[in-house]
Amino acid sequence: MPDIAVLGGDQINGDTAPDIQTALFKFAEPFISRKIPFATILGNHDDEGSMTRKQIMELTASLPYSLSEVGPELGPITKDKKGREVREGGAGNYLVEVKAHNRPEHSAVTLYFLDTHSYSPDKNVIGYDWIKPYQIDWFKSEAERLKDAHNKYSFIHLNMAFIHIPLPEYRLEGVSIVGEKQESPTAPVHNSGFKEALVNAGVMAVSAGHDHANDYCLLNQMWMCYAGGSGFGGYGGYKKYNRRVRLFEVNGDAGQIKTWKRVEYSPEGKYGRLDEQVIVRGAKIVSPSSA
């Protein structure tokens, strides 16, 4: 049983789920009934129905075992795809502090969640939206605010981040990947520099969703991984690709992060840990060759 589950966005598929509240309760029920704490990210489809991003986050945050929060009001007021007035920065910017088992007064791991919005707001820029400069400022401010407290932890404090739409750096060519790349990453064309902010704040691993048939990790100053397509409402099935979920195992005492995937069904009988790798050891990045 996992200690925490992160739902990586597009839990609700817009207009195909006219009753948003019921769809939300359905994706939350497996975690609530098993008493598993869960946190959510918003994808580009969640708010295409009758509820805004803020309303979805408010309802999700109110549920038992939910660690989701309604983030601060960031950016100017704009109109969403349905013509509703919303904050441009989104409502899904927040963090979760995971307390140390034997030292609950200290945070052992900080999980950052950033709202990656949906489609480009600039008619001259095709494709998907990007993390805005004021979101990056918020992230930097939070990381700086927590630094002193984290430095007091007698073991090694670790940082991870979760987003829906991948960073432009997920397109990096000519590097080794661990896992499968079944489609071209649909990252934003515009690069707002969030990857550099993550690295400078000591984030060693980021996980993205969005591209349903990608499940690889690549190393570019930090580990950038895909969560893998786990839902049954989206596309998939390329080259016998089967639904899968990425797991992270964090060992605070050793400053270690291990990751692998579990597959829903495999004709080859591969139901165990696929592409298991240690990505952080002793709070230092582990390269693929030494994992």
Q: Which domains does the chain have, with CATH numbers?
A: 5-240 (3.60.21.10)
Euclidean distance between CA atoms 238 and 213, whole angstroms: 7
Round the average pLDDT of the chain to a whole number and report it. Answer: 91
Q: Is-above-0.85 flag for pTM? A: yes
Would you say 40 and 60 are in contact if contact means Cβ atoms under 8 Å apart? Answer: yes
pLDDT of residue 236: 65
Who contacts 239 (Cβ-Cβ below 8 Å, separation ≥6)? 182
pLDDT of residue 131: 97
Q: Where are the alpha helices (DSSP H) in 93-132?
A: none
The segments of the chain whose pLDDT lies below 70 read 233-240, 266-271, 290-291
pLDDT of residue 270: 59
Euclidean distance between CA atoms 160 and 205, whole angstroms: 5
